Structure 1
Amino acid sequence: MSLRLSNLNVTHGDKVLVETARLVFERGQPVTIVGESGSGKSLLAHAMMGTLPPNLAARGTLTVDGHSYDISDQANRRALWGRTMALLPQEPVLALDPTMRAGEQVAEGVPAFRTDKRGARRTADALLSSLSLGQASSSFPHTLSGGMAQRVAFAAATIGGAPVLIADEPSKGLDRRARTELAELLKLHLNGGGILLTITHDLDLARELGGEVLVMKDAHVVEQGAAGQVLAQPVHPYTRRLLAAEPSRWSHPWMRGSLNAERADVVQGATGAVLVSGEGLTKSFGGQQLFSNLSVEVRAGERIALGGPSGSGKTTLGNVLLRLLPPDTGTVQHADVLKGGRLQKLYQDPALAFPPRVRLAEALGDVVRRHGLDGSCLEELMGSLRLAPELLHRRPGQISGGELQRIAIIRSMLLEPALVFADEPTSRLDLITQEETMRCLMEQVELLDCALVLVTHDDALSAAVTDRSIQLGAATPLRMPELQPAVL
C-alpha cells in the first residue's frame, strides 16, 4: 500500500497555513513531523483525513493505492474513515464521548460491532487490558488521567485495523516509560504492514520511531531526511534551534541545578515560611489507592515536581493540596498569605479553565476588575510570550491550545501569586515555545519569590525547573497486544 499527497495548500482567506509539494508514505516506513506550534502540522493531517474546519480552504490531491481524491472535497474520504484511515486525535479527552464508558467507545470501532456487540466488547476489553487499562473499561473519560485518556483513544483508533494511522501528539501526557511502550505499539502497526504518520513535539519519540522526519515552520517543510541525520546533524537553522531547546540543554539565570552551581545553597533545603502543609494524606479513586499516609510541605520560594507514571495520582495530590479535593484521610492547612487569589492553578487542559463563549480580553479584564489589579503589565506579558494582542479579541476555541496555555499563565501572574500549581503547563507547546514559556513563568516566579509545584512527565524539564521531586506510584508495564496485520 502507498499513500501520496500532492500540491497540498491550506488557506484561511489570503493566509497560507500549509503548503507542500509532494509527500510519499510507504507501508512499514514511519514518517514523523516535528516543528513549532501553528506551523501547520495538524492541519496537514486533517487535510488528509477531510476533517478541516469549515472556515479553511484546501487544494491538492491524496492518492491511496492509485485512487485519487480531491482534497477540496471534504466528504469524499469519509468512506475511508476507520477502514482505511484512522486519526488518533491531539485532545483525547475532548475527542472521547463524555457520556459513554471507555470500553463501549472502543468497542464501536470493531468491524463486527453491529452484528456481534458482545464479541466486540470482549475484543475492546482485551485491547484495553493489554494497555494496562483493564479497570478503565467501565470508566467515563472525565475520570481518567490525560495519559490514560490518550491510551483509550489509541485503542479506539487502532482496533478497526485501518492500515493508515495518523497519530497527532500521541505521547502527550505520557511518562517516559509509557512513551517508549507507545512507540512499540506504533511500531507494531508498522510491522503489520501499516502506514504511520506521527505529529509530535516530542523529539525523543521521533528518535524512537526512526524512519523519516519532516521539520515544519511557517506552513512549509524546511528540512526532511532520515531521523538519525536530521535529529543529530541538522542543516536548517530552525532545526538546530529546535534541538537546542530541549530542557537538558537549557542554561538560564533562574535555574537552580548544576548549570548554576553558585545557587546550590538554595537547592539544599527550603527555609521559607510553610505555605501548604498536608499530613497523613490518603486518596483513592475507583477502588484504586493513589497514595497513602503521605505528608507534604510546600514552603515559600520552593520548587517541587510531582512525578510518576500516568494515572498515579499527581494531579489528584495537587488538587488535595490546593483543597479542591478532600482527602480520604489526613488534613491540609494553608497559610493566610494564600488568601485573595494568591494560590493559582495552571490546568493541564486550559480550554476547561476559560468560559468558552467569552472573549479572552473580557475574561482577563474580569480578573483585573475583580481583584483591583493594575492591568498595564498585560501587554508586556503578552509580548514576552510571543502572543499577538489581537488574540485577546477571540474566544478560547478560536486559538491554538499552546496559545491558550500561555494566556492561562498570564492570567495567573496578574494576581502575583505566592504559590502556583502547574499541571503539565507546557504539554501542548513545541520545544522552543516551551523554553520561552517556562522562561517567562520562572522569571515571574523568581521575581515574586513564588513557590511552584510542577506536574510533569518530563524528567529533563523537572531537573531544569525544580529543586526536588515527589514520586508517586509504580509503572505498570504494558503487555503488547497481539495485533492483527493491517488489511491491505
Structure 2
Amino acid sequence: MTEVLLAVAGLSVQVGGRPLLREVSFELRAGEALTLLGESGAGKSLLAQAVMGNLPRALRAGGRVTIGGATTAAADGAARRPLWGRALALLPQEPALALDPLARIAPQLAEVHALVGGAGFGQAPALAARQLADIGLSHAVRRYPWQVSGGMAQRAAAAMALAGGARVLMADEPTKGLDAHWRARTVETLQAVQRRGGCVVTITHDLRVAQALGGRLMVLRDGEVVEQGEAQAVLAAPRHPFTRALLAADPAHWPMPAPQAAEGEPVVRAQGLAKRFGERRLFEGIDLALHSRDRLVVQGASGTGKSTLGNVLLGLQPADAGVVRRRPDLPATAFQKLYQDPAASFAPHARLAQSLRDVARRHGRAWSQVQACLDRLRVPESLLGRRPAEVSGGELQRIALARVLTVQPALLFADEPTSRLDPVSQQEAMALLLETAAQTRAALVLVTHDDDIAAAVATQRLSFGEAAAA
C-alpha cells in the first residue's frame, strides 16, 4: 500500500470558544484526491489554512496533522512552516494577496524555483520562463501582478504554488475566474500532481471541476462534514438535503431570462471602441447601446479585455479610439463597478460595518436598506465587526454585492460577481442582483466565464476573441 502523504485527525478551529470547524478527519495517499464542497463560509479555506499552520492569531486549531509521516499538533503551525513549498503547498483563493505587487511575475516565480525548488539562481529564470510559457503567460513575464487580468494572476499564483515540487498540494478555488480552456488545463495540472506521486486537496464551488477530479468528496456546512464518499457516487446520488440543494442550484438548472424591450434613452452608448495594452490589441470596433433593464453578458478568454471594456464604459480608463456617451442627466456615481477581486475593493484596516455605513451615508441611503440586502444574501451581522481579511472570499463577495446594490446605480458593471460563491449562494445573489436591477431600472453588464450563468442572465451578449453578437 502506498504511503500516507497527508493525514488530518480531529481538526477543529475556534474563535473565542465558538467553533468554526468541527472535528474534520481524512487521509490521502500518493495519487489520491479530495475535493471539498460546501457553502461560502463553511470553513473550507479555514481547513486549508489550519493544515498549513497559517491561521490568524485570534483563531485556535485543535487536532493533529501528519505530513509525510511527521505528526504535529494542529495548533503548532511553526512546526510545519519549514515544509512550505517543499512538501506542503497552498494555492490561496485570492491571487492578489498571494503575489507581491512590487515584483514582476517572472522574477517572483524564478525566486521560488531557486530558493524553494532548489534549482539555483543560474537555472531558475529559464525554468520560470518555460513554466509561464506553458500556461500562456509568456507575454507577461515583465509585468507586475496588477498589470494582468484576474485569470492571468490566478494562473501565475498556481505556477508559484507548484514550483517548489511539494507532494501535498491544497488548491483553494483554483479555477475561479478562468475560462473553459484554462479551467480544463488547471484540472489537468492538479491531476499531473497525482500522477507524479503527490496528493491534492481542492476547494471548489464548480461542480464540473469536482466531477472531473474524481477521488473523494467531502461536503461542509456550518463547519461540519455533512456528507462524504467517492465523488462520482455523491454527485450522482447525494444523501444529505444540503448536498442535494447544492446540486439543484447549479446554474445549468436556472431558468432562461424573459426577453425585454429597450426603454428610453440609452444609459450608455459606445461607438468604435478600441483599446491596447502595450503591444497587444485587446479589442477594437466595439459598438453597443445599453438601455434601462438591459442585461449585457461579456465573455471571452482570460486577458482579452473584458474588465478593461467595463472600465472604459464607466469612465475609469480612456479608450484608445472611439467614443463613450453616458446619459447626461446621470451623476458619475450612477455608474458603479462590482470588482472581480472583492478583497482589493475594501479598505483593509476598516471594519466592514464602517465601510458599508460610509457608502450608505455618501449616497443618502438608510441603514435599513443595507441590512435588507445583507439579510437577502444571508450575511450574519456578526461578520460586520470584522476586517476584510477576517472573512471568507465568498462572504466578502456577498458583502460587496450588498454594498453596490445599496447605491442603486443606473449602470452596474459586475465582474465575475459570484465566482467565489457556492451554487446556492450564487443563485440567491444573482436573483437579488437581477431583481434589484429590474426594480431600479438599472442596466447590467456582467462578465462571466460560466456559459450556464450567461444563458440565464443575458438579454444581449458580447464575445471577445470572436465576432461579437449583441
Which bin holds the TM-score, normalised by the shorter protein? over 0.9
Change (3 A) 1:58 1:371: closer
Give deviations 1:428-482, integer Å, cap 9, x for gaps.
Answer: 21111111111111111111121100011111111111212100126xxxxxxxx
Query: Counterpart of 2:178?
Result: 174
The DSSP-based 3-state class of the residue aligned with 1:117 is coil
Q: Does 1:193 pair with 2:197?
A: yes
Change (3 A) 1:370 1:172: same
What letter matches 2:73 in structure 1?
A: D
Structure 1 length as normaliser, TM-score?
A: 0.91
**1:76 corresponds to which letter in structure 2?**
A
CA distance in 1, matches of 2:351, 2:69: 46
Q: Look up the match of 2:291.
A: 299
Q: Deviations over 1:78-105 (max 9, x none)?
A: 1211111111111111110011111111
Output the CA distance in 2 between the equivalents of 1:73 and 1:344. 44
Aligned to 1:110: 113
Cα offset, 1:21, TM superposition: 4.8
Counterpart in 2 of 1:69?
72
Letter in 2 for 1:199: I
> Measured at CA, do residues 272 and 374 of structure 1 come closer, stay the same or move farther in structure 2, by a change above 3 Å?
same
SS of the residue corresponding to residue 229 of structure 1 reads helix
1:410-425 → structure 2 map (5 Å cutoff): 410-425=402-417
2:132 aligns to what? Answer: 128
Query: Structure 1 residues 52 and 366 mapped into 2: Cα distance closer, same or farther (>3 Å)?
Result: closer
SS of the residue corresponding to residue 28 of structure 1 reads coil
Distance 1:55 1:183, change over 3 A: same
CA–CA distance in structure 1, aligned partners of residues 299 and 445 of structure 2: 11
| Matched residue, 1:215 | 219
- Deviation, structure 1 residue 393: 3.3
Counterparts of 2:353 and 2:169 in 1: how far apart (Å)? 39
Distance apart, 1:249 and its partner CA? 1.0
1:5-404 equivalences under 5 Å are: 5-111=8-114, 116-251=120-255, 256=257, 263-264=258-259, 266=260, 270-339=262-331, 341-404=333-396
Identify which range, 389-398 or 233-242, moves more after superposition: 389-398
The Cα offsets for residues 366-400 of structure 1, whole Å up to 9 and x where unpaired, read as 33333333443222222111122343333333333
Q: Alpha carbons of 1:206 and 1:325: their partners in 2 closer, same or farther (altered >3 Å)? A: same
Query: Superposition RMSD on alpha carbons, in Å?
Result: 1.7
Q: 1:420: Cα distance to partner?
A: 0.8
Rounded Cα–Cα distance in structure 2 between residues aligned with 1:108 and 1:441:
43
Letter in 1 for 2:220: M
SS at match of 1:427: coil
1:115 is displaced (CA, Å) by 7.3
Is contact 1:375-1:414 (8 Å) kept? no
- Equivalent pair of 1:338/1:419 in contact (CA under 8 Å): no
The 1-side partners of 2:62 and 2:344 are apart by: 33
Aligned mates of 2:286, 2:357 — CA distance in 1: 39
3-state SS in 2 of match to 1:44: helix
Shift in CA distance, 182/19, structure 1 to aligned 2, threshold 3 Å: same
Aligned to 1:482: none
Q: 1:63 to 1:358 in 2, by over 3 A?
A: closer
5+ residue gaps, structure 1: 257-262, 475-488
Q: Residues 9 and 331 from structure 1, CA distance in 2 versus in 1: closer, same or farther, beyond 3 angstroms?
A: same
Equivalents in 2 of 1:105, 1:13: separation in Å? 37
Cα displacement string for residues 177-213 of structure 1 (whole angstroms, at most 9, x for unaligned residues): 2101111111111111111111111111111111111
Q: 1: CA distance between counterparts of 2:386 and 2:165?
A: 39
Judge conservation of contact 1:272–1:301 (CA < 8 Å) in 2.
no
Please say if 1:433 is aligned against 2:425.
yes
Change (3 A) 1:10 1:188: same
In 1, distance between residues paired with 2:93 and 2:146? 16
Partner of 1:274, secondary structure, is coil
8 A contact 2:41–2:391 mirrored in 1: no
Deviation at 1:297, TM superposition (A): 1.6
Letter in 2 for 1:292: E
Greater Cα shift, 382-391 or 35-44? 382-391
Residue in structure 2 matched with residue 468 of structure 1 by the alignment: 460
Deviates more, 1:236-245 or 1:50-59: 50-59
1:472 aligned partner, one-letter code: F
Q: Given the superposition, is the C-alpha separation of residues 356 and 209 from structure 1 closer, same or farther in structure 2, using an over 3 Å criterion?
A: same
Tell me, what secondary structure is at the counterpart of 2:420? coil
Q: Taking structure 2 as the reference length, what is the TM-score of the superposition?
A: 0.94
Counterpart amino acid of residue 83 in structure 2: L
Change in CA separation of 1:188 and 1:111 when aligned onto 2, cut-off 3 Å: same
Residues in 1 aligned to 2:380 and 2:68: alpha-carbon distance in whole angstroms: 43
1:8 is displaced (CA, Å) by 1.1
User: Aligned partners of 2:14, 2:385: CA distance in 1, in Å?
Assistant: 21
Q: Does the CA contact (< 8 Å) of 2:265 and 2:291 recur in 1?
A: yes
Does the Cα contact within 8 Å between 2:262 and 2:291 map onto a contact in 1?
A: yes
Distance 1:340 1:415 in 2: 12
- In structure 2, C-alpha distance between the alignment counterparts of 1:352 and 1:443, rounded to whole Å: 26
State whether residues 95 and 157 of structure 2, in contact with CA within 8 Å, keep that contact through their aligned partners in structure 1: yes
Give SS of 1:25's match.
strand
Quick one: structure 1 residues 291 and 376, their matched pair in 2 at CA, closer, same or farther if it must change by over 3 Å?
same
1:220 Cα shift?
A: 1.4
